[in-house]
A and B are shown apart, each in its own frame.
Chain A
């Protein structure tokens, strides 16, 4: 009985919060789909809340970029008859690239590539690219963008985010009703965060069933017809007001620009090595 009452209260609280949110005042739906039904099912309200920060923690090339783009596209799409709300990407010219990877050379500085974003469904006429040179400019620009009413969603790939900047961004997003999508490395998992929703995205590598077919020591040549989907797993690390603890396995297809849920292939537990048993027996 108490559980039911608690659930009811949580539901009432959630509805009251949504009703008073800035998004509701603007006649916009307060919940935005993340672009993937499976991820929506993990979330407590069935989607991402407007006016909040969403953090994607991923290893480099983990697929979080694509997921963030999908969410941004949904945020900009879900408005009846509007033409004006923009999607902003804040990018810093860096020597080391968007996320420093182990051993990445100082000369690498990959940049956000808009044609791929367009292929994933972002309307380029509504995309604004903000390029900054220094970190202080970056924080200031993020703050300005988060504050703006006319921004539907903004994206940022980065690493370090100081507590006070993070908090300022969260307050700015709350005031303006924009959706802030931050993609940060997995190592930031342990750091405190002001994001309302946090996901952990990990790449799964090859399908083990398919790997068994491959012969050892030879490179598999993927033909044009073979799916070159990337398999990633998405886990909800934290969401305000609960949310389910499940893991979602997705396949990201870069050729057809689609996301689909895969059945979780059975994780075969590695068999204990026989020598360990014999050693124990011997000892």
Chain B
């Protein structure tokens, strides 16, 4: 139900509303998939888009855990120790297991066999015995087949609500009346057709470490050690054909603390010299107060290295390639160095949002993040689904707004500054609504010579705190041009920017 309806049913103070974050959900699920590799070597997400669960291939693994039922109970216990509530089911086919896990009724009697008393009824694991797959599916609703909503509704309109009824329908009729998805899912669930699940493997984190025989607080020695480790790491990265996007160097101290240096790069890098230069920028600011006994260097985020073909003849690429290849390299080196010292938020790219409110007229994003986003295309595909209000206006909205908007100054205050009005408008052409004739910005009086405006900027009530301002461009007698506005709600004057 929509949020508005929910808030009308429940008191707002008792209701917690949070925006659904697809990307975070998916990331958490991928992390769990990696964690589940302790139970099975093949773990996959149960759907490509909007995955809601995991599929594990446990063929032949039952005896390792003392039986299939025992395996499932172990899985449930392991998840609950991590703080997760799960529904688990095991069957011959992936489709059947999914159906049973999501839709099967749990028997009451089985609850007593579980020792953990906090177990809820629907968490009781179910094992569908071999050969009884079809009979287990019979009573489950059609939605258990993983088909689309439209197909389910059509089946319901025909009076077909359970999988058993679907199987009793003639197959030829099904393929002609519904799309092939229904038949495919039915065959996959009953085992007539094979289903391929794509397992996700979390790549092993690349770590090189060295423990020192006797702990030392000599900076040269520690520097020598981490430089060697970075060299080893880069050799390993090159062997894999990958480059590091994020490198971390941790120094374990005698008193138990850990100092760490972390660098992020714009593009995947396997050149040890570049990585050492970046770490050096942080190393020179690090203070070693205790002796170090272990140094480790790890590449926590890696991506495939881009291969760039070297041009054979420099002249041939004068018009196109030269500006592309080495300069992109030079720019990414610059971005890496700046981000390493100033932080990721210190080097930004800018994009316009088309928002009418000047403070939100543009959005900044760290340049270094571009590399991370390129490395994980799946994540970016999921992220585009989340829409922020600013992006909804889009480029089309912006182009039409631009023609109607007044000019903007080059310098804009982050937060509009309240100004003191010394002398209000002399009643004349502009009337009492115009800008003040004389105003003070912290100890300096400015006399207004000319003014242009007003330009009204208002935001919609659905955006939250509303903005209702009348903007004026004023030129003082000293030749300065300010961008002032009057807040329509309070009637006070603010300085928002300066033209340069």
Which residues of A are in contact with B by a Cβ distance under 8 Å?
A: 26-27, 59-66, 69, 79-86, 97-98, 101-119, 124-125, 127-133, 137, 140-141, 144-145, 148-151, 203-206, 217-224, 226, 228, 230, 254-255, 257
Contact = CB atoms under 8 A, between A and B. Distances in A.
B443 A105 contact: yes
17 contacts: A60-B480, A84-B327, A105-B441, A108-B417, A108-B442, A110-B412, A113-B408, A115-B362, A115-B408, A116-B409, A116-B410, A118-B352, A119-B408, A150-B334, A206-B475, A221-B428, A223-B452
A66 B500 CA distance: 6
B407 interface: yes
Nearest to A126: B349
A221 B430 contact: yes
B410 A145 contact: no
Contact of B367 (A114, A116, A124, A128): A128
A81 B324 CA distance: 10
A150 B500 contact: no
Interface stretch (B22-30, B251-259, B336-344): B336-344
B441 A104 contact: yes
Contacts of A117: 410
Contact of B500 (A64, A82, A84, A218): A64
Contacts of B429: 218-221
Given A137-B342, A219-B425, A223-B452, 15 more contacts: A27-B322, A61-B480, A81-B319, A82-B323, A101-B444, A113-B408, A114-B352, A116-B410, A125-B349, A127-B350, A128-B335, A128-B347, A130-B338, A144-B337, A219-B428
A132 B348 CA distance: 11
Interface residues of B, number: 69
B341 A80 contact: no
A62 B500 contact: yes
A131 B342 contact: yes
Given A150-B334, A217-B426, A219-B448, A128 B348 contact: yes
Interface of B: 318-320, 322-324, 326-328, 330-331, 333-335, 337-338, 341-342, 345-352, 358, 361-362, 364, 367, 402, 406-414, 417, 425-426, 428-430, 434, 437, 441-444, 448-452, 473, 475, 477, 479-481, 495, 497-500
Contact of B479 (A61, A108, A118): A61
Given A62-B500, A105-B443, A148-B331, A219 B434 contact: yes
Given A61-B500, A141-B338, A230-B499, A111 B414 contact: yes
B441 A206 contact: no
A169 B63 CA distance: 71
Q: Count chain B CB atoms within 10 A of each CB in A119, A129, A150 and give the residue with the most.
A: A150
A80 B318 CA distance: 9
A137 B408 contact: no
A122 to B, nearest CB: 10
Nearest to A59: B479
A221 B451 contact: yes
B350 A222 contact: no
A82 to B, nearest CB: 3
Contacts of A221: 428-430, 434, 451
Contacts of A203: 479
A86 B327 CA distance: 10
A124 B351 contact: yes
Contacts of B319: 80-81
B450 A222 contact: yes
B371 to A, nearest CB: 14
Q: Count chain B CB atoms within 10 A of each CB in A79, A98, A127, A228 and give the residue with the most.
A: A228
Nearest to B481: A61
A112 B434 contact: no
Contacts of A102: 444
A219 B413 CA distance: 26
B360 to A, nearest CB: 11
Contacts of A104: 441-442, 444
Given A102-B444, A116-B408, A144-B338, A230 B481 contact: yes
Q: Count chain B CB atoms within 10 A of each CB in A61, A137, A206 and give the residue with the most.
A: A61
Contact of A107 (B324, B330, B442): B442
Nearest to A132: B342
Nearest to A80: B319
A279 B327 CA distance: 72
Nearest to B478: A205
A141 B352 contact: no
Contacts of A254: 407-409, 473, 499
A115 B349 contact: no
B381 to A, nearest CB: 22
B92 to A, nearest CB: 54
A221 B427 CA distance: 12
Q: Count chain B CB atoms within 10 A of each CB in A115, A149, A206 and give the residue with the most.
A: A115
